Each structure stands twice: as structure tokens, then as C-alpha cells.
Amino acid sequence: MALLEVTGLEVSYGPIKAIRGVDFSVNQGEIVALIGANGAGKTTIMHALCNLIGKQAGKVMFDGQDITAIPAHKLVPMGMAQVPEGRRIFQELTVSENLTLGAYTRKDKAEINATLEEVYQRFPILKERQKQIAGTLSGGEQQMLAMSRALMSHPKLLLLDEPSMGLSPLYVSNIFEMIQEVNKSGTTVLLVEQNAKQALAIANRAYVLEIGVISKTGTGKELLNDDSIRRAYLGG
């Protein structure tokens, strides 16, 4: 059984149907990429999964439970964490305060500290900057912080919405490496990306979203070698 199973998802903004019946799934241990052009509806799907916005129709199963109508804040303790588009770290709080808020729903102090140490080990720069106001971090550091903050909840499934947005090419490769590391250490990943080439390269499977519907699906490799995908998303 899939860790995340989405069926018949429809989302509207007023009269505009942004998502028009989308089915997809993410299996335990996978990296699944969701790629698509600007405005295809990727962020809308991510928000709808976490119930930050309402759904018109559809069903979402997570870890064997129907989470279609479970409010966003209750999904975190169930094991679903999201790094939203644009990172949205708490600019006015310090790095370490941001990280502790990531563990907001966890109770055990010792375990939280252990996770914090893991995060600091993976991202030593965050340890160096723990007292710094998060808004003053560089874009790349903010992305690390956003990802680490989500990991602080110890999620089974990590939803990443365009983690490479606005980063320099070198940094982008860094971020993709980190995603692979996180995945290797046992976290399942659903990755939304514009950066289709690199996303497909690390993804087990991928879905292509085109104005609210899924137009294609396959393994990362298959889609990388698909002619129409190459033309549309990989620059020839």
C-alpha cells in the first residue's frame, strides 16, 4: 500500500478550477517528483494535501488513514511535513527558534535534542548561525533552515515545494544532494520542481502536471528520455 494515495483531487479558487481530477501516489521510501510549468497547479496540490486550502472533491489517504478533511496542524504529528514554496521561515525568529518550532508537536525533550543534533550535523552552518535572526540568512541558508525545520518533526513523508527556487546552480546541486541524503535516511519525499532535469534525475517516479491534470507519468529515467518532455521541460 502506498504511503500517500491521492484520488480524484479537485481544487477551485472561486470559479477557477485549478486542479481538475488528479490521481497520484507515493510509496514508502520513494522520491516522487511532480513537475509542471508555472501555474500548472503544483503548489495548489501541495496546499490541498495539507488542507491549507479546501478541496472541491477527492480523497487523500496517508499511512493508512483518510486525511482528506484533517486540519493542517494535525497532520504534522501523523508524520507529514511540508516545506512550502518560498520557504516561509519565520523571519523574525532565530535559527534555533525556527527549528524548535519545527518540533512543536513533539513532547520528548531528549528526542527533540537528538534530532536537533542530527540537523546540526547535516547542516553545520545552521549550528554556527543558531542565534542569528532567520530573516538575515542567505537564500540558500534559508532553504536549508526550511528543510531542517520540517525534518524536526521527524516526518515519514516530506513535501518539498520548489526547494531549488532562486538558488545558484551550485547550490541547486547541493540541495538535490541533501534531498537524496534525507531520503536515504528513511524519509519518503514528494518533490515539486521547475528544475525538471535534476528532479527527474533523483526521482524514482514522476508525474507531469499540465494545467490541473496529470498528462504523463513514469520513472524518472523514462521521463528524462521522453522526447515531448525534453522539448517542454528540459530545453530540447
Partner 1 sequence: MSTLIDGLSLGVIYALIALGYTMVYGIAKMLNFAHGDIIMVGAYSVFATLALCGLAFPAILVAVIVCVLLGISVERVAYRPLRGASPLAVLITAIGVSYLLQSIAQLIFGAKPRTVELFSFTPIRIGNSTISGASLLTLGVCIVIMAALTLFVNRTKTGHAMLAVSEDRGAAQLMGINVNRIIMLTFAIGSALAAFASVFYLLYIPSVNPTLGSMPGIKAFTAAVIGGIGSIPGAMIGGVLLGLIETICLRVPALAPFTTSIEFGLLIVILLFKPTGLLGKRRREKV
Ligand X SMILES: Nc1ncnc2c1ncn2[C@@H]1O[C@H](COP(=O)(O)OP(=O)(O)OP(=O)(O)O)[C@@H](O)[C@H]1O
Measured distance CA(202)–CA(27) in Å, rounded: 15
Contacts of 188 (CB under 8 A, 6+ apart): 3, 4, 26, 27, 28, 29, 30, 31, 156, 157, 158
Q: 100, 132, 180, 194: which one contacts ligand X (CB under 6 A)?
A: 194
Which range touches partner 1 (CB under 8 A), out of 60-68, 84-92, 215-223, 224-232? 84-92
Please report the DSSP string for 151-186 in residue order.
HTT--SEEEEE-TTTT--HHHHHHHHHHHHHHHHTT
Measured distance CA(146)–CA(69) in Å, rounded: 25
Residues 210 and 36 sit within 8 Å (Cβ to Cβ): yes
Measured distance CA(12)–CA(16) in Å, rounded: 5
Which range touches partner 1 (CB under 8 A), out of 11-19, 22-30, 88-96, 199-207? 88-96
Residue 66 vs 92, nearer CB to partner 1: 92
| 234 contributes a contact to partner 1 by CB under 8 A | no
| 51 contributes a contact to ligand X by CB under 6 A | no
| Closest distance to ligand X from the beta carbon of 236 (Å) | 20
**Residue 44 touches which of Mg ion, partner 1, ligand X, none (Cβ within 5-8 Å per kind):** ligand X
| 215 contributes a contact to ligand X by CB under 6 A | no
| Closest distance to partner 1 from the beta carbon of 104 (Å) | 5
One-letter-per-residue 3-state SS of 53-89: CCCCEEEEEECCEECCCCCHHHHHHHCEEEECCCCCC
Q: Report how far apart, in Å, the C-alpha atoms of 187 and of each of 3, 93, 156, 178, 184 are.
A: 11, 27, 5, 12, 7
Residues 182 and 30 sit within 8 Å (Cβ to Cβ): no
Residues 76-95 within binding reach of ligand X (CB under 6 A): 85
Residue 43 vs 115, nearer CB to ligand X: 43
| 211 contributes a contact to Mg ion by CB under 5 A | no
Residue 18 vs 99, nearer CB to Mg ion: 18
Residue 92 vs 181, nearer CB to partner 1: 92
| 113 contributes a contact to partner 1 by CB under 8 A | no
What residues make contact with Mg ion under the rule CB under 5 A?
Answer: 42-43, 85
What residues make contact with partner 1 under the rule CB under 8 A?
Answer: 47, 50, 52, 71-77, 81-82, 84, 86, 88-93, 97, 100-102, 104-105, 149-150, 153
